[in-house]
Amino acid sequence: MSHFTNLKTSFKNLLHLENALNKLEISYKREKKITNLNNSKIYNINLVIPQSNNYDILFNWNGEEYELVIDASFWIQPYPVESFINKLSQHYANDVIITESQKIGFQPIKSKQHVDGSNTITLQRWNLNNSVAIV
């Protein structure tokens, strides 16, 4: 018996989510979803991770965030669901930090992954004749 689960996430930006999936080398495809609301069409993009057993993984846009829709009994990814979400969240956060900091003039100069799985990103911005580094 199939039992789909919707897991709330904090993934609100499609570009950052796609970048995180790419960093993890996870193949996905975009799926355009059309919703009719009060006689107007709303177009959303969902992400689908195909699985060989045809029980695909879906990131479904609910209007606020991308929900992870899975059938846990048919999960065939290389790591457990919790580990998948943790790894994806970490890459998503790194992408947000780097992208948003670049918008205000910072550039990443060093990134280090620690034994405990955490990351340190060093950013730098030149301001007149001084540089400011944020770790």
Same domain, 82 and 35: yes
pLDDT category of residue 126 using cuts at 50, 70 and 90: confident
Tokens of 75: 């999960």
Tell me the average pLDDT across 106-113. Answer: 88
Tell me the average pLDDT across 72-88. Answer: 91
Same domain, 72 and 48: yes
Same domain, 28 and 59: yes
Residue of higher predicted confidence among 28 and 113: 28
Same domain, 66 and 119: no
Alpha-carbon span 25 to 8, nearest angstrom = 22
Question: How many domains does the chain fold into?
Answer: 2
Q: What is the pLDDT of residue 45?
A: 94
Same domain, 19 and 82: yes
| pLDDT (tens digit per residue) in 19-70 | 999 999 999 999 998 877 777 788 899 999 999 999 999 999 988 999 999 9
Same domain, 14 and 74: yes
Q: Is the pLDDT of residue 2 over 70?
A: no
Q: What is the pLDDT of residue 112?
A: 87
| pLDDT (tens digit per residue) in 5-22 | 666 678 999 999 999 999
End-to-end CA distance of the chain: 49
Same domain, 66 and 127: no
Q: Sheet harboring 57-61: ordered strands across?
A: 4-7, 66-71, 57-61, 40-49, 29-37
Tokens of 72: 């846990």
Same domain, 63 and 37: yes
What residue numbers bound the domain in which 31 lies? 4-103
Same domain, 73 and 131: no
